[in-house]
A and B are shown apart, each in its own frame.
Chain A
Amino acid sequence: MSLQQAACRRQQAFPRRAIFIGSVLLLLASACGGSASERQVVVSAASSLTDAFADIGQAFEAANPGVDILLNMAGSSLLREQILGGAPVDVFASANPPVMQTVIDAGLATGSTAFAGNRLQIGVPGDNPADVAGIEDFADETLLIGLCAEVVPCGALARDILLEAGIEPAIDTSEPDVRSLLTKLEAGELDAGIVYVTDVIASEEVIGIEIPDALDPVTEYLIAVVAEAPNPTGAEDFVAFVLSAEGQQILAAHGFTPP
């Protein structure tokens, strides 16, 4: 039997209208399914919270059977753009106050709560191939240097620190979020980058070098229920859980400081 004959046979076996009717039904069905939003909470959280929020999400699901936490991890600024663009998000956790403020200014959140603190550190591959000793080495043209992009909190803060230290960095890449920067450090493709202490803790291959307190390398994380949250009750519950003793304990275990 040739391919054409086979195709014809299949066409006969398939009632002509079935495909059409089937697709219309599918469209209708997807428009009607509203109850799902009651059972899931969509959480947009800064990339640096990846591991901590995975644990918090699991603990929340264990404490609230039948509720699904959907984590949407990316750079805070990309998450903000998604929310400003009308993404159906319930909770937003930002890695710095200015990004959260723009969401509040846009009327998409009424207020926010600080829930954790973090600190930037210089991250280098485990064997420190370029013998990076401190922030001064970021001016060295011969090194492969990476920072987070200026729009993401870790990139903005890193540039503030370098400016404060009077160092013009010889950047080779501006990564879209802290985790992609961390990956390139882990792979040994970059000699140094500026990441969070929590990333250094999370990574087995990257080691951290302190940035002096005088350069103020600290940041504050804020969390808010999004104004147009499809599941406001679930969102409130999740925020309360993050602020609870159990949530704070998980954050501390990942190296975050209390707010």
Chain B
Amino acid sequence: MIRRRRNPVGVVILAAIGLAFFALPLVGLLTRAPWSDLPDLLTSDIVLDALRLSLIASLMATALSALLGVPLALMLARAEFPGRSVLRGLVLLPLVLPPVVAGTALLFTLGRRGVIGEPLNEATGLVLPFSIWGVVIAATLVAMPFLVITVESAVRNLDPKFEGAATTLGAGRWEVLRRVTLPMIGPSLAAGLLLTWARAFGEFGATITFAGNLQGRTQTLPLAVFVALEQDRDTAIAISLVMVAISLGVLVLLRDRWWKTR
């Protein structure tokens, strides 16, 4: 029989404090929850509009991240070119940058007067801020790095002999990618997508800065919480509970499938 290794007491105590750090704010939220009014609060127009918008925008941001982020991760992991580490830093920047800064940068780039936004507007009449596209772009910018780092490290840790064997057997590059590489990094890809979605779902700062705040058009759940907090605290708490429930639900439901825990 193998005895499990015990952790030192100090570690246990600090871990307990760490856990309380995560759990207590939830307890605080639950004690303030207006349980009896909850059904009414959650079916109000503000909440339903924000929920719909949040789900659509976060899924679109995840899809866009997959489309652009996976190729980017493959390039960062495999391609040899000068300045790759600088490029990686650039891709990871949104992880450390305050989202408000990311939103401001987007405004000055893709806004109606932005470097790219202005010619885009003149050519197509499209205005990205104050539209759902603004919400999707803001969420993609801050969330995609999670996908890129997860997939890049998975590709790096891949044993090259399988892909080598496929090539030897006559598979082209595209076929190797599709039938060997991507299936082998499947779990990491899924975990990365999940993290990306979660980040996009909770995105606030870049969204309100770049896309603005209008119910039914750009007001996602986090924005609705922020606005409701100053007016109607019960609604704010109700929306917070919805966000906690959805996020926790997704993370727990998919845990066994994607987060291999022994």
Contacts and interface: CB of A to CB of B under 8 A. Distances in A.
Given A171-B214, A176-B226, A17 B10 contact: yes
A175 B213 contact: yes
Given A20-B10, A81-B230, A144-B127, A173 B107 contact: no
Contacts of A78: 229-230
A81 B212 contact: no
Given A150-B231, A187-B108, A172 B214 contact: yes
Nearest to A17: B10
Interface residues of A, number: 28
**Main SS class of interface, A:** mixed
A174 B111 contact: no
Given A175-B213, A189-B113, A151 B208 contact: no
Contacts of B215: 174
Contact of A187 (B107, B218, B227): B107
Contacts, number: 69
Contact of A173 (B112, B218, B231): B218
A172 B130 contact: yes
Contacts of A173: 130, 212-214, 218
A25 to B, nearest CB: 13
A20 B227 contact: no
A31 interface: no
A20 B11 CA distance: 8
Contacts of B130: 144, 172-173, 189
A188 interface: yes
Nearest to A125: B113
A175 B219 CA distance: 11
Interface of B: 8, 10, 13-14, 104, 107-108, 111-113, 127, 129-130, 208-209, 212-215, 217-218, 226-227, 229-231, 233
